[in-house]
Amino acid sequence: MRTLKDVKIGETVTVARLNGSGAVKRRIMDMGITKGTEIYVRKVAPLGDPVELTVRGYELSIRKADAEMIEIA
């Protein structure tokens, strides 16, 4: 399945599933990224890390390693 890391700039996707466990998964969920949430990819840094997103009406930057844990539909 595709992950958030594979999404191109300007795409809007929906979260299908969160991988990972423990504190990492909890941190991602605390940022507002949960199953069914729509995410718009605003920017990607020149070297690919971090990725800037719009989630639930606010801007959020996450690392590629975290984006890899978020499966999208």
pTM of the model: 0.86
Look at residue 63 and give its three-state secondary structure.
Answer: coil
CB count, 10 Å around CB of 62? 23
Q: What is the pLDDT of residues 14-72, one digit of tens each?
A: 999 999 888 989 999 999 999 999 999 999 998 878 999 999 999 999 999 999 999 99
- pLDDT of res. 73: 87
- pLDDT of res. 51: 93
Superfamily (CATH) of domain 4-72: Ferrous iron transport protein A (FeoA) (2.30.30.90)
Answer for the pair 10, 73: CB distance below 8 angstroms, yes or no: no
What burial class does residue 50 get, using C-beta atoms within 10 Å of its C-beta: 0-12 exposed, 13-18 middle, 19+ buried? middle
